[in-house]
Amino acid sequence: MTLITAVLGDITQQHVDALVNAASREMRGGSGVDGAIHRVGGASILTQCISRFPHGLATGDAGWTTAGDLPAKWVIHTVGPNRHAGETDRSLLASCYRRSLEVADELGAATVAFAIIGAGAYGWDLDTAVTTAVQTLAASPTQVREVTLVTPHDDALRTIEAQLLRA
């Protein structure tokens, strides 16, 4: 069984096997979590994104690169659905978590840190984003021993902790 916990903090500072990046479809860096991971991790992450994913990734899919200068081994990049662009299918949001765990299993990652995918610039309301994250992570078969949900916001931490109590 996978232990799921929540922490208030910076995802780029998590000492885990893999960090999950809420990436853009193009896989070329961006703002928010994506921009922070690329800034802190360094140019090697972008170089690998370009070579490994020349056409980017589909919404709901995931792929990996090494972690560059981050305190992790790998970055798992996943593309969340953008509600502002009309991508309102919650199953695509759930797919981000399932596919990320599948990639983590392929890599042999035992510890994985996730941001709450879709709850920022992509417009998903926090309750839906957190509920989808916790329910999907709890129900998905995986060899990952520990998942940490990381947020820099107190209100999001309280929402995650409340959902974890219900799970």
Identify whether 34 is a catalytic site residue: yes
Q: What is the mean pLDDT of residues 55-78?
A: 97
User: Which of 17, 34, 89, 154 is labelled catalytic?
Assistant: 34
CB 133 within 8 A of CB 2: no
Q: What is the pLDDT of residues 2-19, one digit of tens each?
A: 999 999 999 999 999 999
Q: What is the pLDDT of residues 87-110, one digit of tens each?
A: 999 999 999 999 999 999 999 999
Q: What is the mean pLDDT of residues 118-144?
A: 95
Alpha-carbon distance of 107 to 17, in angstroms, equals: 9
CA dihedral 41, 52, 35, 103 (to 10 degrees): -80
**Residue 30 banded pLDDT, cuts 50, 70, 90:** confident
Q: What is the mean pLDDT of residues 58-75?
A: 98
CB 74 within 8 A of CB 65: yes
Mean pLDDT of the chain: 95
Going from the N-terminus, what domains does the chain have, and what CATH number goes with each? Answer: 3-166 (3.40.220.10)
Q: What is the mean pLDDT of residues 64-72?
A: 98
- Identify the CA nearest to 165 among candidates 4, 1, 2: 4
Cα 112 to Cα 34, 122, 149: the distances in Å are 16, 22, 9
